[in-house]
Amino acid sequence: MTTNMSFVNLVLNASLIVQLVMLSLVIASIASWSIIFSKNKLIKKIKLASDEFESAFWKGGSLSDLYQAAKRNNSLNDGISSIFNAGFQVFNRLSSNQSINKNQMIEECTRSMRVAQMREVDKLEQSLATLASIGSISPYVGLFGTVIGIMNSFRALAGVQSATLAMVAPGIAEALVATAMGLFAAIPAVVAYNRFVDSVSRLEIRYDSFSEEFTSILQKHELFDSDN
* Distant-in-sequence contacts of 188-192, Cβ < 8 A, 24+ apart: 188/29, 188/32, 188/33, 188/36, 189/32, 189/36, 189/131, 189/132, 189/134, 189/135, 189/138, 190/135, 190/136, 192/32, 192/35, 192/36, 192/39, 192/40, 192/131
pLDDT of residue 223: 46
Q: Is 105:149 a contact under the CB 8 Å cutoff?
A: no
Instruction: Count the Cβ atoms, other than its own, within 10 Å of residue 86.
Output: 21
pTM of the full structure: 0.81
pLDDT of residue 93: 82
Q: Which of the residues in the chain have pLDDT under 50?
A: 1-2, 223-224, 226-228
Q: Which residues of 20-44 are buried (b: 16+ CB within 10 A; e: fewer)?
A: ebbebbeebbebbeebbeebeebbe
Structural domain boundaries in the chain: 7-227
From the list 47, 44, 52, the residue with the least C-alpha distance to 73 is 52
For residues 203 and 74, give the distance between their C-alpha atoms in angstroms, rounded to a whole number.
Answer: 19
Burial class (CB in 10 A: 0-12, 13-18, 19+), 226: exposed
For residues 76 and 56, give the distance between their C-alpha atoms in angstroms, rounded to a whole number.
Answer: 11
Q: Give the type of residue at 46.
A: I
pLDDT of residue 227: 44
Instruction: Count the Cβ atoms, other than its own, within 10 Å of residue 80.
Output: 28
pLDDT of residue 224: 43
224 contacts: CB under 8 Å, gap ≥ 6: none
Q: What's phi and psi for 37, nearest 5 deg?
A: -65, -45
The gap from C-alpha 199 to its chain's centroid, in whole angstroms, comes to 9
For residues 145 and 15, give the distance between their C-alpha atoms in angstroms, rounded to a whole number.
Answer: 10
